[in-house]
Amino acid sequence: MAAYTPNFPGSNSIVEESWLEGRAKGKADAVLDILKARGIEISGSVRERVTECTDLDALGTWLGRSLSVARAEELFAEE
């Protein structure tokens, strides 16, 4: 039996690239919004690192951490 492999319309194109950039921006915004809602100060360097990141896995990790860190810099702590 053949495995089904979904193919995003416009795969490997500017459409897919734009879609992925939108997902990254959404996650970055969520990380910053959660920190802000929790009253955690966000330095310029943290804001820049989060907003410029395009790695969805890293952003997902930071999103999870944003729920419990005491300081914004702890987002980037090595596990």
The stretch 45-61 carries a mean pLDDT of 94
pLDDT at position 21:
73
Q: CA dihedral defined by 33, 36, 37, 38, rounded to 10 degrees?
A: 130
The stretch 26-44 carries a mean pLDDT of 96
> Letter for the amino acid at 14?
I
pLDDT at 18 over 90: no
pLDDT at position 22:
73
The stretch 66-79 carries a mean pLDDT of 92
pTM > 0.85: no
